[in-house]
Amino acid sequence: MYARLLQTPGQSIFLFGPRGTGKSTWIRDRFPNTTTYDLLDTGETLRLTREPGALYQELVALPPESWVVIDEVQKVPALLNEVHRLMETRRLRFVLSGSSARKIRHGGANLLAGRAITTAMFPLVSAERDFQLDLDHTLRYGSLPMVVTGQDPSGYLRSYAETYLDQEIRAEALTRNLGSFSRFLEIAARQNGQVTNASAISRDAGVHRNTVQNHFDILVDTLIGSWLPAWKLKSATKQVQQSKFFFFDPGVARALTGRQAYPPTPEELGSLLETLVLSELRAFLSYTGRDYPVYFWRTYDGAEVDLLFETQEGFVAIEIKSTRRWDKRYNRGLRRLRSDLGAERTKCFGLYLGERSALWDDVRVLPVLEFFRQLWNEEFTT
């Protein structure tokens, strides 16, 4: 078992994360012998759906400051009214976990008026594995705990994809046409990490363009992926403004394409490596309490930087290449961006699958795992 970096909270939290990231294991480890409601239990879910007020009656006698866990809270959003009441009248503290925020965000659920902070759980990160990971294996299968510790990662991921469609989509009635959503899901996974062209996806999936946008909303709300927006500089240079869509884990993205049984092709490796780096970066920013939005940057004449975010000291720009050797031409977008943002305010990194660190034109070229080590040691993200 790996020690997770997500800290034990001192106040109530919403703990969101995709299925399989280890939320329930983390809760059992940090909150043993705590009153728990598991809404994956169908009987419990039906009972509390019929009578949400029973939660208050069952917990009202607990001492103030006691902790209560409600797992998969999105299945009965009405419970949040009772949670709010128990916070106010009994000063109870809650861990409210879930693998989907759709009903909570869009169903008019009580968001507890800021009394519970929103926290995210990610797949295993390099620091939790003491930086001892096989990148080839990770790019193919990802970093979900059961993938890392299990004996059959391919089989687990195949089951994961089927479970996502069945439990998150069908059971929650998030779309009326599961067949069209399944076709969309495969196409979206094949375009993981690319600038999104909704019209092309609409044509390939055989659904209306508005349906494509709704399907992407479902992916975001069920935490299976997220948008990487384009950074817009104030200069007059024409820049790409469409967002990219990334799945949360490279192994899950491959499983959804149906290619899990085969090693990644050279064409796949680029987006898979970007997915891994983006997931690691977002986990770092979340676990360390930094609220830096992450972007990409691209001009219409082809200059591009894969990841960009602004810290208190300036900008961090990252170019990612799935090659074993770094070529000086890979620095083109970084040089262009640094010129626009100011060289003194922009730290530029090139990440690749090689083994040696180097300095090229003020670009710090690092093997991916070395970058992860420096990231978690907080050497350049204050």
Amino acid sitting at position 87:
M
Contacts 24+ apart (CB under 8 A), 153-158: 153/251, 154/260, 154/261, 157/251, 157/252, 157/254, 157/255, 157/260, 158/255, 158/260
Amino acid sitting at position 20:
G
Token pair recorded at residue 310? 């602004």
- Give the rounded distance of the alpha carbon of 242 from its chain centre: 19
CA 132/CA 141 separation, integer angstroms: 15
In the chain, which residues have pLDDT < 50? 108, 236
pTM of the model: 0.92
CATH 3.40.50.300-classified regions of the chain: 13-120
CATH topology of domain 13-120: Rossmann fold (3.40.50)
CA atoms within 13 A on the CB side of 378: 10
> What pLDDT is attached to residue 302?
79
DSSP labels for 306-354?
EEEEEETTEEEEEEE---SS--GGGGHHHHHHHHHH-GGGEEEEEEESS
> What pLDDT is attached to residue 237?
54
